[in-house]
Amino acid sequence: MREIIFDTETTGFDPRNGDRMVEIGCIEMINRVMTGRSFHAYFNPQRSMPAEAEAVHGLSDAFLADKPLFSALAQDFLDFIGDSPMIAHNATFDFNFINAELGLCNFPPVCLSRMVDTVALAKVRHPGAKLSLDALCTRYGIDRSHRTKHGALLDAELLAHVYVELRGGRQIGLELVAENIEIVTEIKVLPQRTRIFRQPRPHVATAGELAAHAEFLKSVDTPLWGA
């Protein structure tokens, strides 16, 4: 099963207010194992970066000035995700920005039926607990020491580890792969062994043993069997 774990960075919270996507990072997983394939890009948002957003992800106007427009890479992005399910943390936010960007360059939106939200999964698995990506990394012992600011590809990699844990942990990766299963069709018949007949051991007391027992009984004072 192929799945895409992804994250975005933006200029704000709502594309309807003119906010734009400035970074996207996608990780390919097959059978819940990262394959090493990814899609990562920065985009020129054609607007200024608010200071509050820059403080979160560190992407400045100067850094993004020479980056391509989303429209230039939209088809590459769609080719990479294919028709696979797409997993994100607070996925509605990311889907809104992706579909807004696709709409601006006249591409059809990504269907919301493909959306898997890890926040929703975490609510079921850990009701009442903190559900941020940082909190879930701490819960599952996932190292995020190299994460000083938000970054789409880095956060997608962390989320991939969290997603595996939310789906049941690393035992998922132990599934048998069909092409690695060896089917044994040869039946080996072992040669018959010759059994040696032995007489059964006698279990009846000998005359000497009976005499010794009778002599012992005479030494017992007031035996219960004599009452």
> Any idea how long the chain is?
227
Of 150, 161, 203, 213, which one is the catalytic site residue?
Answer: 150
Q: Please name the residues in contact with 150: beta carbons below 8 A apart, sequence gap of 6 or more.
A: 9, 56, 57, 58
- The residues, any chain, with a CB within 8 Å of residue 165's CB and separated by 6 or more, are 136, 140, 142
CA separation for the pair 36, 6 (Å, rounded): 14
Q: Based on C-alpha coordinates, what's the Rg of the chain?
A: 36
- Report the alpha-carbon distance of residue 102 to residue 73 in Å, rounded: 10
Which pair of structure tokens corresponds to residue 19? 């906010």
First to last CA, the chain: 83
**150 is an active site residue:** yes
Residue whose structure tokens are 């509050």: 52
Its sign, for the CA torsion 135, 138, 144, 145, is: positive
Query: What is the DSSP-derived secondary structure letter of residue 86?
Result: E
Which residues are the active-site residues? 150
